[in-house]
A and B are shown apart, each in its own frame.
Chain A
Amino acid sequence: MPQATSQQTIGPYWHLILHPEWADLTRFGAAGEQITLTGRVIDGEGAPIMDAAVEIWQADPPADAHFPGFGRAPADDAGRFRFVTLKPGPVPGRGNAWQAPHLALAIHARGLLRPLFTRLYFAGDPRNEADPLLGAIADPARRATLIATPTAAATWHLDIRLQGAGETVFFDF
């Protein structure tokens, strides 16, 4: 039985495949509730990760010719990233469960030999309380590392801390 190909780091020169417009998932004319997502990627000493690639994927709204469901953005000199996308609705979970609105994130960078996967949820959404994945994180402070907070109209912010105090919950994917 063949085994899956091994991962290797994206390295510091991945910007050769950077197309800044990919950070706007609405660029092909997708209709819906537009939101802006911002955040920072920070290392174990609190320093910005200036060469990170941040990718988002959302299962809702369903991807189609006008909405790829996927975006890629670079972290800038302050570790900041920014996406424009459509606000996801709830997504079916396993069994009869429903998942609160969320996006999947993959973080790639020099020094990451394989991607780090996490999620972004939306603060204040009452569906968060019944979300199976959030419910599997017992510590409220850890759970909060997945929950973006509103910073302006239709704008949500989430910092990604790779290590140490406030470390983001990453998944065994």
Chain B
Amino acid sequence: MNDPLPFRPAAKGTQPLHDTPAYGSTSKRHPNAPLLAFAHTLTETTGPRFAPAHFPALADLSVARGKSALGERIIVAGRVMDEDGRAVPNTMVEIWQANAAGRYDHPNDQHDAPLDPHFHGEGRVFTDAEGRYRFTTIKPGAYPWRNHPNAWRPNHIHFSLFGTGFAQRLITQMYFPGDPLLERDPIFLAIPERAARERLIARFDLGLTEPEWALGYRFDFVLRGRGATPMENT
């Protein structure tokens, strides 16, 4: 039997460390023992199959209960590729986010900002044959959290992606260009390499922007590639 091609390890500095003291919630939740490395098997190189009929698309978050949500309407779109330059088609992309006032429609969110009866904040689509996805939503507001004095999360949209193998599972956050909170955010700053961090910032895209309707932001994803670690330029 041919062994499945393993996924490559992450490039140095591109993934956050489990133990990140500036983000207080990591202190009792990060493992102390070294992580166990092993060669990927079918369990890691294969992944979920979601029949689209069972997982209906929710591509427009900007309308709920028949009316438009408050806030700045935006289009968020992009492409899911892997490190080998291959498109990742037909893969589930989930998003969730706060409303324009910086409040989640979630019982644990007690931020003193208004809920919007016409915004819930959940989206789900599958990429097309070229790996493309697209949502219409509302630009989320910043909100305070209690990590440190006067701590505020930058505007962000949460993303969940699956890819073709379980070892490609990706949970991340998309940020917005020009946000002054980014350089003060320990979650964003937990990624050691600046270039990797900056790839989490969407790009304003006039081509995606729909006249008289919504601003466009492009946000592309790269999932892990397969095979041996390529030689790095040093």
Contact = CB atoms under 8 A, between A and B. Distances in A.
Interface residues of A, number: 70
A91 B33 contact: no
A93 interface: yes
Interface in B90-117: 94-98, 104-106, 108-109
Nearest to A142: B33
Interface size class of B (residues with CB under 8 A): 35 or more
Contacts, number: 218
A16 to B, nearest CB: 4
Between A57, A69, A91, the greatest number of chain B beta carbons within 10 A of the residue's beta carbon is seen for: A57
A112 interface: yes
Contacts of A63: 46, 48-49
Identify the 7 closest CB pairs spanning chains A and B, nearest first. Answer: A111-B25, A70-B48, A113-B16, A172-B35, A16-B96, A111-B29, A44-B28
20 contacts: A2-B81, A2-B85, A3-B222, A6-B200, A8-B171, A11-B173, A28-B51, A44-B27, A44-B28, A59-B42, A63-B46, A65-B49, A96-B1, A109-B29, A111-B27, A113-B16, A113-B187, A114-B171, A137-B36, A167-B31
Interface of A: 1-17, 28, 43-45, 47, 49, 51, 55, 57-59, 63-65, 68-70, 91-96, 99, 102, 104, 106, 108-117, 119, 132-133, 136-137, 142, 162-164, 167-173
